[in-house]
Chains A and B, each alone.
Chain A
């Protein structure tokens, strides 16, 4: 269970980071 929670946290943090990259690039272009 602990590993599973860790995995969820990693995916959450990682996707937030990627969303930040995507949105900041989009904002740059706009």
Chain B
């Protein structure tokens, strides 16, 4: 438990260090007078700056704790000074005057933060994190420089959040790394609430914050080393700064909005679509004030923040958006990548499109845990159109949202790729809830009952999800026991950790490699097609200086390639996939063979 508290304290220190560095970067910017936004702008810009500095440090080969920690300490100190200044003379909300339901929502949000902290304290067990979101930072930390993960096309996506995860590795360990996305998620909660507060007051602010954050889906997002919390924060702050520009004008809000839109594009490829549509929506809404200088004030910082990631890809692979459009490693790898996109959702026909909103409510499991998204977005965001004074901007936001959803629908129907929409649509949903509640007795009854029931169901599901992490987080369960129960094929990883020589370099037939204590290569088609012959296979082994391989006994293609090498079996381990961590469900056990090459 003490360790968990220490992680949380260091996460708070991380937030302060972002605030401190952001304060230094934004020193020339005149304060806007909105202290909450000023604080969030500095925190967000600081996070982006830390990510880019870490990226540069990775190229220079100086990813050492001894380099990072002094920077962390100095900027955290600057953050404390900045925070004291921001808080000085601030009028705190008088909670005693709040109605009980508002206090209950505030308490609910606090409960969610606690749930998220506990879940993040557990060893990393989320599949994508084990594959690359955390595995890549671990590799960079161990080698003190950025490396190409040739086996994972996903690792060529922009890596802003992963750089912040890497900072956590440098500060302490993998769990500290996992706290970076959680800090981003909590910051985006504050940003969504703050934006709604400025637009529509406290009631809307609390509701928007709850719709956005008090849902099991966001618990999963915030605690699984995903990059989506970063997308949410970047877009929430880009929107808020655009709103400030719309209301008060000035160049600084445009520059900040551009920097955050670029931040979104520097986090993940779908961030480019989200940032582009946001820019388009803003251009339509503010078209009478659109000038070349203002467009550049937005676009230049956006490009400056996002570009390094695309230039990196162009330099390393010749394709800035590797492996898309201009080609990936090979035909088999590209096919596998597209297959993984198409394995989610219900289909891409016109009927599927028409049924989409209904399926998101009634049958969202095929969208990869879409059933855990709060229904309040879809139920109430359309109702924001009822409010006359918001109708025009709400309609434009809806059009941009529909355009993004279409790109999602015809691209990859993963529920988590919808997170970029959540900040804006949480605000819309809150405005919709208030609008319905103010339209007569039936409306009030419906709005309060449905919202209350959805939040109650959400906290129940979230508690069930988080409960699995409590024993290990408080030290009542060992890390090994936890990982055996919660990560696929851990029996094989554990066997290799105990039996392989310390200098072994392993190629592994599955993607869950974070907890393997030896350097590992995932044996995807990106690094070696299954059809590769003896010469190509030998070249692959030499290139990665591999000494061992772990493959499923049923994988005929890889075993044939191992025969080309004259590899011998040194271990046979029964492993099993985890199909549900929460429900402790496992797939059938299967033999995994460990070879010496």
Contact = CB atoms under 8 A, between A and B. Distances in A.
B is a partner of A: yes
B362 A21 contact: yes
Q: Which of A7, A10, A17, A29 has the most CB of B within 10 A?
A: A7
A22 B457 contact: yes
A7 B362 CA distance: 18
A25 B386 CA distance: 33
B583 A8 contact: no
B157 to A, nearest CB: 31
A11 B383 contact: yes
Contacts of A21: 361-364, 371
Nearest to A20: B362
Contacts of B358: 17
Contacts of B385: 3
B442 A11 contact: no
Contact of A15 (B382, B442, B453): B453
B450 interface: yes
Interface in B384-400: 385-386
Interface in B363-377: 363-365, 371, 375
A27 interface: no
A17 B356 CA distance: 13
B471 interface: no
> Interface residues of B toward A: which range?
20 to 34
B104 to A, nearest CB: 20
Given A21-B364, A21-B371, A15 B379 contact: yes
B443 interface: yes
A15 to B, nearest CB: 5
Given A11-B436, A14-B375, A15-B379, A4 B443 contact: yes
B339 interface: no
A8 B380 CA distance: 10
Contacts of B457: 22
Contacts of B57: none
B446 A12 contact: yes
Given A7-B386, A8-B442, A11-B450, A17 B380 contact: no
Nearest to B450: A15
B375 A18 contact: yes
Contacts of B382: 7, 10
Contacts of B443: 4, 7-8
B439 interface: yes
A14 B433 CA distance: 14
Nearest to B440: A4
B303 to A, nearest CB: 40
B454 interface: yes
Nearest to A22: B457
A12 to B, nearest CB: 7
Nearest to A19: B453
A20 B17 CA distance: 46
Nearest to B378: A14
A20 to B, nearest CB: 5
B386 A17 contact: no
A11 B386 CA distance: 13
Interface in B437-453: 439-440, 442-443, 446-447, 450, 453
B367 to A, nearest CB: 12
A12 B375 CA distance: 12
B386 A4 contact: yes
B380 A11 contact: yes
B361 A7 contact: no
Contacts of B371: 21, 25
B373 to A, nearest CB: 10
Contacts of B435: 7
Q: Which of A8, A11, A12, A29 has the most CB of B within 10 A?
A: A11
Contacts of B378: 14
Contacts of B375: 14-15, 18
B361 A14 contact: yes
Q: Which of B362, B371, B385 has the most CB of A within 10 A?
A: B362
Nearest to A10: B382
A15 B383 CA distance: 14
Contacts of B383: 7, 10-11
Nearest to B364: A21
A18 B361 contact: yes
Interface string B556-588: 000000000000000000000000000100000
A3 to B, nearest CB: 6
Contacts of B436: 7-8, 11
24 contacts: A3-B386, A4-B439, A4-B440, A7-B382, A7-B386, A10-B379, A10-B383, A11-B379, A11-B436, A11-B446, A11-B450, A12-B446, A14-B361, A14-B375, A14-B379, A15-B379, A15-B450, A18-B362, A18-B375, A18-B454, A21-B361, A21-B362, A21-B364, A29-B583
Given A7-B382, A11-B447, 11 more contacts: A4-B440, A7-B386, A7-B436, A11-B380, A14-B378, A14-B379, A15-B453, A21-B363, A21-B364, A25-B365, A29-B583
Interface of A: 3-4, 7-8, 10-12, 14-15, 17-18, 20-22, 25, 29
5 nearest A-B residue pairs (beta carbon): A18-B375, A17-B362, A17-B361, A14-B379, A18-B361
